[in-house]
Amino acid sequence: MISSAYIHIPFCQHICHYCDFNKVYLKGQPVNEYLSFLDLEMQLTLQKFPSDIVKTIFVGGGTPTALSAVQLDVLCQSIRRHLPFDQGEFTFEANPGELTEDKLLVLQKHGVNRLSFGVQSFNNDLLKKIGRTHTVEEVYSSISTAKAIGFENISIDLIYSLPTQTLSDFEETINMALELDLPHYSSYSLIVEPKTVFYNLMQKGRLSLPSQDKEAEMYELLMEKMHKHGLHQYEISNFAKAGYESKHNLVYWNNEEYYGFGAGSHGYMNGIRRSNYGPLKKYMDPLKERTLPFIEENIVTKQEKMEEEMFLGLRKIEGVSKQKFEHKYGLDVKEVFPSSINKLVSQGLLKEQDDFLKLTKQGKLLGNEVFQSFLQ
Work out the pLDDT band at 196, boundaries 50, 70, 90.
confident
227 with 353, same domain? Answer: no
Length of the chain: 376
Q: How many CB atoms lie within 10 A of CB 143?
A: 21
210 with 330, same domain? Answer: no
Which 8-state DSSP code applies to residue 316? B
Q: How many angstroms separate the Cα of 265 from the Cα of each of 10, 108, 125?
A: 10, 25, 32
Average pLDDT score over residue span 157-181 = 97
Provide the number of structural domains found in the chain.
2
In this prediction, residue 34 carries a pLDDT of: 98
In this prediction, residue 20 carries a pLDDT of: 80
In a domain, 346, yes or no: yes
Work out the pLDDT band at 178, boundaries 50, 70, 90.
very high
Which pLDDT tens digit goes with each residue over 131-153?
999 999 999 999 999 999 999 99
In this prediction, residue 239 carries a pLDDT of: 98
In a domain, 301, yes or no: no
Please, are residues 264 and 207 in contact by the beta-carbon 8 Å criterion? no
In this prediction, residue 23 carries a pLDDT of: 86
Q: How far apart are CA 281 and CA 209, in angstroms?
A: 37
Average pLDDT score over residue span 157-186 = 97
Work out the pLDDT band at 319, boundaries 50, 70, 90.
very high
In this prediction, residue 39 carries a pLDDT of: 98
Average pLDDT score over residue span 310-337 = 98
In this prediction, residue 195 carries a pLDDT of: 85
Q: Which of 7-21, 159-173, 177-191, 351-365 has the lowest mean pLDDT?
A: 7-21
45 with 142, same domain? Answer: yes
134 with 219, same domain? Answer: yes
How much of the chain exceeds pLDDT 90, in percent?
A: 91
For the chain, give percent helix, strand, coil, nearest 5: 45, 20, 35
Q: How remote is the C-alpha of 296 from its chain's centroid?
A: 21
Work out the pLDDT band at 205, boundaries 50, 70, 90.
confident
Q: How far apart are CA 336 and CA 358, in angstroms?
A: 16
- Of 253, 273, 288, the last residue of a domain is 253
In this prediction, residue 18 carries a pLDDT of: 84
In the predicted structure, residue 321 carries a pLDDT above the cut 90: yes
Q: What are phi and psi of 345, to 5 degrees?
A: -65, -45
Average pLDDT score over residue span 345-351 = 98
200 with 332, same domain? Answer: no
> What's the N-to-C CA distance of the chain in angstroms?
28
In a domain, 292, yes or no: no
In a domain, 263, yes or no: no
Q: How many CB atoms lie within 10 A of CB 302?
A: 12
Please, are residues 54 and 1 in contact by the beta-carbon 8 Å criterion? no
- Of 238, 253, 268, the last residue of a domain is 253
In the predicted structure, residue 376 carries a pLDDT above the cut 80: no
Which pLDDT tens digit goes with each residue over 242-275?
999 999 999 999 999 999 999 999 999 999 999 9
Q: What is the DSSP string of 267-312?
A: EEETTEEEEE--SHHHHHHHHHTT---EEEEEEPPHHHHHHHHHHH
Work out the pLDDT band at 16, boundaries 50, 70, 90.
confident
Range of the domain at 47: 4-253
Please, which residues have CB within 8 angstroms of residue 146's CB and are 6 or more apart in sequence? 99, 104, 115, 154
Q: How many CB atoms lie within 10 A of CB 120?
A: 26
In this prediction, residue 19 carries a pLDDT of: 84
CATH number for position 48: 3.80.30.20
In this prediction, residue 77 carries a pLDDT of: 98
Q: Which of 159-168, 198-207, 215-224, 363-372 has the lowest mean pLDDT?
A: 198-207
Q: How far apart are CA 79 and CA 54, in angstroms?
A: 11
3-state SS class at 55: coil
Work out the pLDDT band at 14, boundaries 50, 70, 90.
confident
225 with 340, same domain? Answer: no
Which pLDDT tens digit goes with each residue over 271-317?
999 999 999 999 999 999 999 999 999 999 999 999 999 999 999 99
Q: What are phi and psi of 50, to 5 degrees?
A: -70, 155
Q: How many CB atoms lie within 10 A of CB 166?
A: 13
In a domain, 28, yes or no: yes
In a domain, 163, yes or no: yes
Q: What is the mean pLDDT of the chain?
A: 96
Which pLDDT tens digit goes with each residue over 66-102?
999 999 999 999 999 999 998 899 999 999 999 999 9
- Of 233, 253, 273, the last residue of a domain is 253
240 with 349, same domain? Answer: no
24 with 116, same domain? Answer: yes
Q: How remote is the C-alpha of 257 from its chain's centroid?
A: 15
